[in-house]
Amino acid sequence: MSIKLKDICKHLGGDLSGDGEIEITGVSGIKDAEPNQITFVANAKYLSAIATTQASAIIIGKGVSGNGKATICVDNPYWGFVKVLELFAWDADIGPKTGIHESVVLGENVSIGEGVTIEPFSVISDNVEIGDETIIKPHVYIGPDSKIGKNGLIYSQVSIRENVTIGDNVIIHCGAVIGSDGFGFTPDPSNNSPYKIPQIGTVVIEDNVEIGANTTIDRATIAETLIKSGTKLDNLVQIAHNVIIGEDCCLAAQSGMAGSSTLGDRVNIAGQSGVVGHLSVGDNSVLYAKSAITKDTPPNSQLSGFPARPHKQELRVQAATRKIPDLIHEFKNLQKKVVELEEKLKAFEHTDD
Q: Which of 206, 126, 119, 129 is nearest to 158 (CA)?
A: 119
Can you identify the CATH homologous superfamily of domain 3-93? MurE/MurF, N-terminal domain (3.40.1390.10)
Asked if CATH classification 3.40.50.1000 holds for the domain at 105-312, the reply, yes or no, is no
Instruction: Return averaged pLDDT per consecutive 10 residues of the chain, 353 residues in all.
Output: 92 94 94 94 91 94 90 95 88 67 96 96 98 96 98 96 98 98 95 95 98 98 97 98 98 97 97 95 95 94 89 83 88 88 81 63
**pLDDT on residue 311:** 83
Contact 304, 311 (CB under 8 A): yes
Which residue type sits at 326? D
What's the whole-model pTM score?
A: 0.85
Residue 350 annotated in active site: no
Pairing relationship of beta strands 177-180 and 111-112 according to DSSP bridges: unpaired
- Helix count and strand count (H, E) for the chain: 4, 39
Measured CA to CA, the distance from residue 23 to residue 86 in angstroms comes to 17
**pLDDT on residue 314:** 83
Which residue type sits at 223? A
Contact 95, 78 (CB under 8 A): no
* Domain locations along the chain: 3-93, 105-312, 323-353
**pLDDT on residue 353:** 59
**pLDDT on residue 93:** 47
**101, 173, 241, 278: the active-site residue:** 241
**pLDDT on residue 352:** 60
**pLDDT on residue 295:** 94
Pairing relationship of beta strands 147-148 and 57-60 according to DSSP bridges: unpaired
Measured CA to CA, the distance from residue 90 to residue 28 in angstroms comes to 15
Helix (H, G, I), strand (E, B) or coil at 338: helix
Task: State the CB neighbour count (10 A cutoff) for residue 174.
Answer: 16
